[in-house]
């Protein structure tokens, strides 16, 4: 496969995975973005500049996660590997449960796709498959690719995802602590098995959540309850677990976002003032917490060619 462009820009959203009972399957894209500028250079050099989240912390050479995903994708389709200059303007907080690693990987894959002479060689399923190789589970990558709310699953043919209906009244509030937690550490806190009763309880809530998201937001509190992961992770994110408990006791559909420690609260637009009043007593002025209300992203990852061959449609792709 030949390259068809030498300069692309990419925008990819943050994501919140699990949404309570949908462990490793449900996810929601948030309008908080990493923006990247990728230029191929004539040498083999890889130079990465990072502004915002991750600056001074992530690698700045070929081992940068975006570059690894980009090179891996080019290699998969038999395209030549060249040096590049990558500039990242990041707004997705790292290691907080907002899908920063999935955003980086999806950005690398869609950037590689946009560089190809035939970007249609990789459809949205292929992007999800490659991203899942890096992530290990598809729940963040799926909404990062398509936007909106998604349910993702893996079968014999690899990972797949479908978009879910989302009531436009649903609003996402994210409570982001300063404290970081690596996904690997949160996953290590999970037990090898859970009681059948808890699995059945959680499966029922996940099914209900699909309806609550689509048409019945008044059911979000019940629908976001989980017994598979949050209780086991409380020990590695005590402050988030306590905030979650307090918000749910007040009637708000709070969940741990992804592997934590960010807390996601889903409300109807009309409940936002009530939520803010409760948050004023819980986190406002408490050192180390940021309250964000980013809106829900509906477009997913986008890549745009700035030079090279004629520009084909290089959106992150829609899923069936
Ligand atoms: N934009 C980025 N550029 C380079 N590396 C990144 C980027 N974003 C994340 N990473 C790498 O991924 C790590 C965070 O991944 P991790 O899976 O632990 O958390 P997360 O993806 O932010 O949260 P979650 O998976 O729970 O939503 C960072 O420490 C960094 O090494
Ligand atoms: N489903 C994943 C999301 C974080 O990557 C977890 O909770 O571990």
Tell me the CATH number at 158: 3.30.230.10
Same domain for 158 and 302, yes or no, is yes
pLDDT attached to residue 315: 36
Q: The domain that contains 199 carries what CATH number? A: 3.30.70.890
Token pair in block for residue 273: 């003032």
Please work out whether the CB of residue 183 comes within 6 Å of at least one atom of ligand 2.
yes
Same domain for 143 and 214, yes or no, is no
Same domain for 287 and 303, yes or no, is no
Q: Cβ neighbours of residue 196 under 8 Å, at least 6 residues apart?
A: none
State how far the Cα of 167 lies from the Cα of 297, in Å rounded to an integer. Answer: 13
Same domain for 74 and 109, yes or no, is yes
Same domain for 11 and 156, yes or no, is yes
Is residue 104 domain-resident? yes
Is residue 302 domain-resident? yes
pLDDT attached to residue 292: 96
Is residue 317 domain-resident? no
Same domain for 131 and 76, yes or no, is yes
Q: What are residue 119's phi and psi, to 5 degrees? A: -60, -20
Whether the link from the prior residue into 263 is cis, omega within 30° of 0, is no
pLDDT of 81 > 70? The answer is yes
Is residue 53 domain-resident? yes
Q: What integer is the mean pLDDT of 183-204? A: 98
Please work out whether the CB of residue 139 comes within 6 Å of at least one atom of ligand 2.
yes
Is residue 228 domain-resident? yes
Q: What integer is the mean pLDDT of 231-240? A: 96
Of all protein residues, whose CA lies closest to atom 8 belonging to ligand 2?
Answer: 259
Q: Which of ligand 1's atoms lies nearest the C-alpha of 16?
A: 27
C-alpha separations of 309 from 77, 85, 87 in Å: 18, 19, 22
Is residue 189 domain-resident? yes
Same domain for 47 and 87, yes or no, is yes
Instruction: Give 133 Cα–ligand 2 centroid separation in angstroms.
Output: 14
Q: Residue 155 CB: number of other CB atoms within 10 A?
A: 7
Q: Which residues pair with 161 in a beta bridge?
A: 152
Is residue 319 domain-resident? no
Same domain for 28 and 58, yes or no, is yes
User: Which has the minimum average pLDDT: 38-47, 202-211, 308-317?
Assistant: 308-317
User: What percent of the chain has a predicted confidence (pLDDT) above 70?
Assistant: 94
Local structure of 233: helix, strand or coil: helix
Mean pLDDT, the chain, integer: 94
The model carries a pTM of 0.94
Instruction: Give 258 Cα–ligand 2 centroid separation in angstroms.
Output: 5
pLDDT of 288 > 90? The answer is no
Is 96 annotated to bind ligand? yes
Residue range 108-166, pLDDT digits in tens: 999 999 999 998 999 999 999 999 999 999 999 999 999 999 999 999 999 999 999 99
Residue range 197-234, pLDDT digits in tens: 999 999 999 999 999 999 999 999 999 999 999 999 99
Same domain for 266 and 302, yes or no, is no
pLDDT attached to residue 307: 61
Domain range for 192: 170-292
C-alpha separations of 129 from 5, 150, 212 in Å: 23, 15, 28
Give residue 317's pLDDT band: very low, low, confident or very high (50, 70, 90).
very low
Of all protein residues, whose CA lies closest to atom 10 belonging to ligand 1?
Answer: 101
Same domain for 76 and 32, yes or no, is yes
Domain count, the chain: 2
pLDDT attached to residue 82: 83
pLDDT of 37 > 80? The answer is yes
HSE, side-chain direction, 13 A CA sphere, residue 67: 24
Same domain for 174 and 276, yes or no, is yes
C-alpha separations of 307 from 8, 37, 280 in Å: 7, 12, 49
Is residue 313 domain-resident? no
Same domain for 67 and 153, yes or no, is yes
State how far the Cα of 47 lies from the Cα of 41, in Å rounded to an integer. Answer: 10
């Amino acid at each position: 496969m030949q390259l068809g462009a030498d300069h692309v820009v990419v925008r990819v959203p943050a994501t919140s995975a699990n949404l309570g009972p949908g462990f490793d399957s449900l996810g929601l894209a948030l309008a908080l973005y990493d923006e990247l500028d990728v230029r191929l250079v004539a040498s083999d050099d890889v130079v990465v500049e990072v502004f915002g989240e991750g600056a001074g912390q992530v690698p700045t050479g070929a081992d940068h996660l975006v570059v690894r995903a980009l090179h891996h994708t080019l290699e998969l389709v038999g395209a030549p590997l060249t040096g590049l200059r990558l500039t990242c303007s990041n707004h997705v907080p790292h290691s907080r449960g907002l899908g920063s690693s999935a955003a980086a990987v999806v950005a690398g894959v869609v950037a590689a796709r946009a560089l190809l002479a035939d970007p249609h060689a990789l459809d949205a399923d292929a992007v999800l498959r490659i991203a899942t190789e890096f992530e290990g589970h598809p729940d963040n990558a799926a909404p990062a690719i398509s936007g909106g709310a998604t349910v993702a699953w893996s079968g014999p043919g690899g990972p797949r995802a479908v978009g879910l209906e989302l009531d436009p009244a649903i609003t996402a509030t994210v409570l982001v602590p300063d404290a970081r937690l690596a996904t690997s550490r949160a996953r290590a806190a999970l037990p090898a098995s859970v009681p059948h009763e808890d699995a059945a309880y959680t499966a029922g809530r996940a099914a209900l959540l699909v309806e609550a998201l689509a048409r019945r937001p008044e059911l979000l509190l019940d629908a976001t309850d989980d017994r598979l992961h949050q209780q086991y992770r409380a020990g590695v994110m005590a402050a988030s677990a306590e905030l979650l408990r307090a918000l749910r006791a007040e009637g708000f559909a709070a969940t741990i976002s992804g592997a934590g420690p960010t807390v996601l609260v889903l409300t109807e637009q009309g409940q936002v003032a009530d939520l803010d009043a409760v948050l004023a007593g819980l986190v406002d002025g408490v050192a180390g917490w940021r309250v964000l209300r980013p809106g829900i992203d509906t477009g997913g990852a986008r890549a745009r060619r700035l030079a090279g061959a004629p520009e084909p449609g290089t959106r992150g792709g829609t899923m069936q």
